[in-house]
A = this chain, B = another copy of it.
Amino acid sequence: MNISESLRNSSAGPKNLRGAELDDTDRLILRLLQDDAKLPNNAIAAAAGIAASTCHARIRSLQERGIIRGYHADVDPAAVGRGLQALISIRLQAHARANLTRFEEYLAELPAVEGIFFVTGDRDFLIHVAVPDSAALRELVASNLSVRPEVAGTSTAVLFDYVRPGTVRPED
């Protein structure tokens, strides 16, 4: 982002960055689909006050532009034998920045990893994990994280809850 863009974006104007170009109808569609991806197209169309075919075309456009990245079932981790969640803060070795992408890919492959947060500034990040029990958590840290040469140290915080609020409301 260059300086003029930066200045423009920091102004009070309502426009988005990145050729997004969403109108109110798009935003309504996004809100509804985030809430329930199974909502039939004709129901969305009715809610938006447009024809079903128009709604269909808009949704496809949102997908093609990468605004809708996909649709996913939300599965209760506890119900599939992952009743324990934790946040693990990982401090990286100072020299490990170069291979950061490789390490990220490694983390993303671990079945327990639900989310990876890359923090700016520091050489560390956070991972959100879901495991069967505390033994598995210990095992994960010891055998999959601490042993990696990139890792300088870890710090684990057990969660007693994780909540994802309804929607990423466009604007507001």
Asked if A48 is an interface residue, CB under 8 A from chain B, the answer is no
Could you say which of A50-58, A65-73, A91-99, A141-149 contacts chain B? A65-73
Give the complex CA separation of A138 and B111 in angstroms.
Answer: 35
- Tell me, yes or no, whether A47 is within 8 Å of chain B by CB: no
Interface string of A103-143 (1 = CB under 8 A from B): 01001111101111111111000101010110100000000
Q: How far is the CB of A171 from chain B (nearest CB, A)?
A: 6
- Contacting pair B71 A73 (CB below 8 A): yes
Tell me what chain A mostly uses at the interface: helix, strand, loop, or mixed. mixed
* Interface contact A20-B81, CB-CB below 8 Å: yes
A18-32 residues at the B interface, CB under 8 angstroms: 18, 20, 22, 27, 30
Chain B nearest CB from A158 CB (Å) reads 5
Spell out A's residues near B (CB within 8 Å).
Answer: 9-10, 16-18, 20, 22, 27, 30, 33-38, 65-83, 87, 104, 107-111, 113-122, 126, 128, 130, 132-133, 135, 157-166, 168-172
